[in-house]
Amino acid sequence: MTKPKKIGILTAGGDCPGLNAAIRGVGKTAILKYGMEVVGISSGFLGLLHNDYIPMDEASLSGILTLGGTILGTSREKPFKKEHHLANEKPLLIKKNYQKQGFDCIVCIGGNGTMRTASLLAQEGLNVIGLPKTIDNDVWGTDQTFGFDSALLIATDAIDRLHTTANSHKRIMVIEVMGHHAGWLSLYAGMAGGGDVILIPELPYDMKLVNKYLKSRVKSGKPYSIVVVAEGIKKPKKVSAATYIAEKIEEGVGVETRKTILGYIQRGGSPSPMDRLLASSYGAYAVDLIAREDYGKMVMKNGETISYLPLSDVGGKLRLVPPDHPLLEKAYGMGVCLGNPMQGM
């Protein structure tokens, strides 16, 4: 009889709905399908540095499927970040603690930064499996990260609500959606919420074009407009995207304009059913990989299939909205303004 495997789970980076569903998917599959020992690692990679662990059993996994956030806590600790006097000290300490704990594998749940750290730890000889999560949906190598669908629901609901107040006051409403590098959330929520203007980091925008478009809406008798902007669009450093764009619009169009910054509401609360399913499937699949000792992989979604890619192929690469994305083409065709000179609107 081989000794049952002992696995650690950590959640790192920005939190999102679905993290606990993923933890549950890993934990239940490990314990019930394979009789593995499961240990939670507190606060991302910090827990591995400080030996901060939470033994887990079926009871600890009960009631967390629908729970937002992460029961393990998270941090943005980057152990490979070069700090002068600590060059490589942190990765070596993690490896020592990993070995002292007798882990057979650690499941690292996170975004780009976490996948990069997991890939580097694999190169140091640790057995790791990565699960892609973030509301930004910008992890290269997977069609979807869990967290995205829940944030899309929240952002779309917020945009829906802006229509009624914009119409009551005949205003232009600017809403800022999260997405530091990628415009997936802004594009999807903007289209789902009937945004008239959608600005994303991947497409350069010209405010003269945006204001010309908005003025043409006023002229044609449209009572209000909805402008959706990603937080990561090009703008002066010290000002939020929503503030910058709202000021430019009010100046240029001459219509009362108000802004809403949706912020962390997009990261809070219970996961959507789709995110619960995706996170659970990712977690269960990760344990099947561990059972066959297929390490150094990131679990991913390709169409309807759950599969994996080598972490070395993924490690921290961003998945951005391509300029020829079908939804962009639909937006152009439906007269949505993307602020892009190419559109000539």
Residue type, 103: F
Q: Is 149 in the site for ligand F6P (CB under 6 A)?
A: no
Binding mask 14-43 for ligand F6P (x = CB under 6 A): x-----------------------------
Q: What's the token pair of residue 209?
A: 């074009």
3-state class (DSSP) for residue 298? strand
Give bridge partners of residue 257 from the DSSP assignment: 172
Asked if 113 interacts with ligand F6P (CB under 6 A), we say no
Residues 6+ apart with CB under 8 A from 237: none
In whole angstroms, give the CA distance from residue 42 to residue 69: 13
Q: Which of 341, 335, 326 is nearest to 195 (CA)?
A: 335
- As a whole number of angstroms, the distance between CA 213 and CA 49 comes to 53
Nearest approach, Cβ of residue 202 and ligand F6P (Å): 15
178 binds ligand F6P, rule: CB under 6 A: yes
Token pair for 50? 């400080």
Q: Scanning residues 275 to 334, which ones bind ligand F6P (CB under 6 A)?
A: none
The catalytic residue positions are 136
Q: Among 37, 77, 136, 149, which residue sits at the site for ligand F6P (rule: CB under 6 A)? A: 136
CB of 64 to ligand F6P, least distance (A): 21
From candidates 47, 69, 91, 111, binder to ligand F6P by CB under 6 A:
111
DSSP 218-279: HHTT---EEEEEETTSS--TTS-HHHHHHHHHHHHH-S-EEEEE-GGGGG-SPPPHHHHHHH
Give me the least distance between CB of 60 and ligand F6P, in Å please.
25
- By CB under 6 A, which span of 84-92, 175-183, 214-222, 334-342 interacts with ligand F6P? 175-183
- For residues 139 and 59, what is the distance between their CA atoms, to the nearest angstrom? 32
Burial of 84 (0-12, 13-18, 19+ CB in 10 A): exposed
Q: How far is the CB of 221 from ligand F6P (least distance, A)?
A: 36
Residue 145 interacts with ligand F6P (CB under 6 A): yes or no? no
Among 259, 267, 276, 297, binds ligand F6P (CB under 6 A): 267
Q: State the minimum distance, in angstroms, from the CB of residue 112 to ligand F6P.
A: 8
Binding-site string for ligand F6P from residue 210 to residue 249, where x marks contact by CB under 6 A and - marks none = ---------------------x------------------
Residue numbers 54-93 binding ligand F6P by CB under 6 A: 76
Q: Which residues bind ligand F6P (CB under 6 A)?
A: 14, 76, 111, 134-136, 178-180, 231, 267
